[in-house]
Amino acid sequence: MRLKFEIRNFITENFLYGRKDNDFSDDVSFLEKGIIDSTGVLELVSFVEGTYGIFVEDEELVPDNFDSINKLSAFISKKKGNGNNHAQTYARQ
């Protein structure tokens, strides 16, 4: 729950700027709702990598992983569950 709350907070503060249309469900598509576009998704990647210490591979940069709160939280949980991620992140830095 905390993870979804953090993602929602980031989205609201950085893409919706507290606007009235922030009342959307965890399943709503960011693309379809016009919340995040192709350049905005890179801001989201930067947030995910910086906050959760994971590295997003190019091939993982797809709507299946990033296009809703539920999808993103599942992706982060999966990546965090993979013990190699931190090592990968640091190796690349």
Partner 1 sequence: MESLGKMISVLRHRGPDGFGFYRDKSAGLAHARLSIIDLEGGRQPIHNEDKSVWITFNGEIFNYKELRECLEKKGHAFYTKSDTEVIVHLYEDHGVECLRRLNGQFSLAIHDAKQDTLFIARDRVGIRPLFYARAGGSLLFASEIKALFTDSRVRREIDIYGLDQIFTFWMTVPPRTAFQGVFELPAGHYMTAAKGRLAIEKYWDPDFLQDAAPRQEAEYAEELRELLIDSTRLQLRADVPVGAYLSGGLDSSIITALIRKFTGTPLRTFSIAFEDTKYDESSFQEQMVKHLDTDHSGIRCSYADIGRIFPEVIRHTEKPLVRTAPAPLHMLSKLVRDSGYKVVLTGEGADEVLAGYDIFKEVKIREFLAKYPDSRFRPLILKKLYPYLDNSPVKSLPYAEAFFNAGTNGYPAMYRSHVPRWSTTAKIKPFFSDALKEALRSYRGTDELTSFLAADFCRYDSLSRAQYIEIRTLLSGYLLSSQGDRVAMAHSVEGRYPFLDHRVMEFCCKLPPAMRMKALTEKYILKESMRDLLPASVVKRTKQPYMSPDSKSFFCENPPDYVQEILSESSLRKSGYFNPEVVSLLAKKCSRNQVLGFKDNMAIVGIISTLLLHDIFIDNFTSTDNIAIKRTMEDGRYAAKV
Residues at the interface with partner 1 (CB under 8 A): 13-14, 17-19, 31, 37-43, 46-47, 58, 61-63
3-state secondary structure of 35: coil
Closer residue to partner 1 (CB): 25 or 38: 38
3-state secondary structure at position 30: helix
Smallest gap from residue 63 Cβ to partner 1 (A): 5
What is the smallest separation between the CB atom of 18 and partner 1, expressed in angstroms? 6
3-state SS, one letter per residue, for 2-29? HHHHHHHHHHHHHHHCCCHHHCCCCCCC
